[in-house]
Amino acid sequence: MPQELLLTGLREGIYTITLNRPEKLNALNRQLIAGLGRVMEEVYRRPDIRAVLITGAGEKAFAAGADIAELASLDVEAATALARSVQQDVFDKIENCPKPVVAAVNGYALGGGCELAMACHFRTAAETARFGQPEAGLGLIPGYGGTQRLTRLAGKGRAMEMMMSGGMIDAATAERWGLVNHIYPPGQLLDASLRLLEKIRDNAPPALGRIIGLVNAASLGDAGGFDREIAAFGACFGTPEMQEGTRAFLEKRKPKFDGGER
């Protein structure tokens, strides 16, 4: 029976996606990437999924890059098509998901694995995690959005150094550079990340979706960001979630959000 490359589970609105090639350090082959795209379509479609956590199986790796054996067989046309497909059909879908998507980086996040983590809305990491973009040592460059997202997250100089040197940085450095929000001991990473997502999950889904869209646009230098924020702020007042949230605050109780318009 073939191994399932992705393990999924839903608990109290939080959908956990586990990359499951631990014997290959969860390297991203075409089959795994295609499966991740299909799973993200499910995330968009299902109202019972309120937030998403992506992690890797085993103790060594989140995802230690793309599958080099697959890459070695590609020509210019095929490589271009692959990069376009991964970026547009999978990683952009993660970045622009209206539901919170968090990467829990449990080990090596290298090459395509680092790019996957950066496509998530933010990242938590085990103390043992390592991040890197080593493609230049293979005569390549990051092709799944890495040159763009790493520059936005860490800044031009740090992105240049990390990609041109091909070296790895540890979790503490990644936190200092803005790649990681929180660091935990390895055995506490998943539980702590889930507790953080529980806090996020309990907020109004339409508000979360608008925050994600506006912050993504701001990171791209959206010149109309303030006007878009004004319009989105006003639109919130037409949602039942805003009515429930303000009513609950005035009544000194916890609001109950069931989803709704996004």
pTM of the full structure: 0.94
Q: For the chain (length 262 residues), average pLDDT per consecutive 10?
A: 83 97 95 96 96 97 91 93 95 98 98 98 98 96 96 97 97 97 97 97 95 95 90 92 91 79 38
**What per-residue confidence (pLDDT) applies to 259?**
53
Residue where the block lists tokens 């646009």: 217
Catalytic residue among 95, 135, 175, 241: 135
**Residue 70 annotated to the active site:** no
**Residue 135 annotated to the active site:** yes
**What per-residue confidence (pLDDT) applies to 43?**
98
Extract long-range pairs of 71-74: CB within 8 Å, 24+ residues apart: 71/138, 71/140
Catalytic residue among 70, 95, 115, 127: 115
So what's the architecture of 6-201 in CATH? Alpha-Beta Complex (3.90)
Q: Which residues, 6+ apart, have CB-to-CB distance to 121 below 8 Å?
A: 95, 97, 100, 101, 102, 212
Domain boundaries in the chain?
6-201, 205-250
**What per-residue confidence (pLDDT) applies to 67?**
87
**What per-residue confidence (pLDDT) applies to 61?**
97
